[in-house]
Amino acid sequence: MYKYLLLIVTFVIGFGLAQEPSTMSFETDLGTLNVTPLGHASIRLELGDTLIYVDPWSNVHDFSQDPDADWIWVTHEHGDHLDKAAIAEIATDSTQYLMDSRTAEASGLDNVTLIANGESLELEGLTVHAIPAYNVVRARDNGQKYHPEGWYNGFILEIGDFRMHFAGDTECVPEFADLGPITVSFLPINLPFTMPPEEAAACFRTLNPEIAIPYHQGESDPQIVADLLADTSIEVRVLALP
């Protein structure tokens, strides 16, 4: 059971962007992992000298003052996840990227490592797994799913027994039942592209993480997730991440 060493959280009622990002710290086999949700699906990870950003988006955070990225992981090519303006603020010539082939083509970036659903990569003692992220039901007017099956990724960061899940844009897909133990899970809760809080709460029950964090919120209320999981042992952290 992993307990945080340090948690500086501002609980914000409503859906404005928190002025100061909240940082959560976890002990892992490789030392302290600092996790800072920056808004929407944007997350900064600091592990020793390694700095990783997941889906940086400049609409919800000013990246101009942030430290340079060693790695940028992008779940898919949509503009609120693949944001070239945000990337330009934190990337250097040595920054490495992790993404699927469609997103890589759209990005036009160099130093890209391709990863597809079901594949894994070892990165300096940690492991990243690419997991399915897709719509089961929700689709555009022409019938195409907002995120078709097999196109895009969610990620699991694994450091020993510590496993952190970044779902990306997805509904509660059947593969979630087979992900194994999850320490921390980030699930999206906004419509029409992902799922509402009620479905996310049911999905957290399937995943059964130690800590559940509703993100990619839009105008949805993350407190609904917490209320629906009040009868479980899952710790729900309610943050303002529009």
Q: What does the pLDDT look like over 70-113, one tens digit per residue?
A: 999 999 999 999 999 999 999 999 999 999 999 999 999 999 99
Residue type, 107: S
Position 242 in a domain: no
Interval 126-149 mean pLDDT: 95
* CATH code where residue 149 lies: 3.60.15.10
Domain that holds residue 125: 4-236
With respect to residue 76, please indicate whether it lies within any of the assigned structural domains. yes
Residue 240 CB neighbours (<10 A): 18
pLDDT at 20: 55
Kindly state whether residue 96 falls inside one of the protein's structural domains: yes
102: DSSP letter: H
Please indicate whether residue 5 or residue 233 has the higher confidence score (pLDDT).
Answer: 233
In a domain, 21, yes or no: yes
Q: Is it true that the peptide bond before 196 is cis, omega within 30 degrees of 0?
A: no
Task: Give Cα separations from 150 to 5, 35, 61, 196, 213 (angstroms).
Answer: 37, 28, 29, 22, 24
**Count of domains observed in the chain:** 1
| Separation between Cα atoms, residue 57 and residue 54, nearest integer Å | 9
Return the higher-pLDDT residue of 13 and 32: 32
Distance CA 120, CA 48 (A): 21
19 has a pLDDT exceeding 60: no
